Amino acid sequence: MADAPALTIRRDWPRPSDAEIAPFRDAPTGWVVDAQARRGAIDHRIRAVTKAVRIVGTALPVWSRGRDNLAPYAALRFAKHSDVLMVATEDFEGASVAGDILIGMAKNAGIVGCVTDGVVRDIPGLDAVGIPVFARGVTPNSPQKDGPGIIGLPIVLGGVIVAPGDLVVADGDGVVVVPRATVAAVGAELAAIGRKEAEMDATVRGGAKVPGWLEERLSRPDVRFVD
């Protein structure tokens, strides 16, 4: 349509408090997943393409048509400190959606990482900028800057719904999204997850060959032995 907007923008939204985010600062993504019913990780094909991999911040969601990055650039105008630029392109791989110039400006705007289901470019420059970038891949192909795009409204990225203000945690294992409404509850579970992990690590170091719960599980009637 000739009168369709190039950009649709929500300019602000609530974000988790520093106190709510604090339990996640050093938590591995696996612990975060375990603390929220063993789910929340985005598609495993979206991986770190930079040397920096650790992200803890709040989602600034963007949808951009393939072969265009007007919306990601415009989103910088509305970024707040510790936001994570989350760019959905519907898995478009024909041209990059971000490069070192956009990511460098994103860092200047207070953004602490970028995650996209599209592809990016300028890897040496991205490493020089220093904030983590996760993407489906890399291509030197360049985008246009025409739109359409959407900023600050829910998107689907890597099979997970990402709403503005959700918490984003990433490391070498991948990217996990924690819905804004459950950040406090999930954060409260992380201490117990950490204690459980420490106990299991100690069991392994002690020489255990199987987990302690396995014998009881093998004794149940739904297990069949054929020897």
In this structure, what CATH number is given to the domain that contains residue 170?
3.50.30.40
Q: Which residue's entry shows tokens 């956009």?
A: 102
Closest CA to 24 of 11, 15, 33, 14: 33
Q: Could you report the per-residue pLDDT of 72-91, keeping only the tens digit for each?
A: 999 999 999 999 999 999 99
Whether the predicted pLDDT of 3 surpasses 80? no
- Domain enclosing residue 150, as ranges: 7-192
For residue 48, being part of any structural domain is answered with: yes
Q: Which residue's entry shows tokens 């971000």?
A: 98
For residue 209, being part of any structural domain is answered with: no
For residue 115, being part of any structural domain is answered with: yes
For residue 120, being part of any structural domain is answered with: yes
For residue 199, being part of any structural domain is answered with: no
Partners of 98 in the beta sheet? 120
pLDDT-derived band at 2, boundaries 50, 70, 90: low
Q: What is the pLDDT of residue 180?
A: 98
Considering its fold, how many domains does the chain have in total? 1
Closest CA to 21 of 155, 154, 165: 165
Whether the predicted pLDDT of 97 surpasses 80? yes
Mean pLDDT of 194-216: 96
For residue 76, being part of any structural domain is answered with: yes
CA–CA gap between residue 219 and residue 201 (Å, rounded): 25
Question: What is the full DSSP assignment across 37-74?
Answer: TT--BPPTT-EE-SS---EEEEEEEEEE-TTB-HHHHH
Q: What is the pLDDT of residue 4?
A: 83
Q: Could you report the per-residue pLDDT of 102-125, keeping only the tens digit for each?
A: 999 999 999 999 999 999 999 999
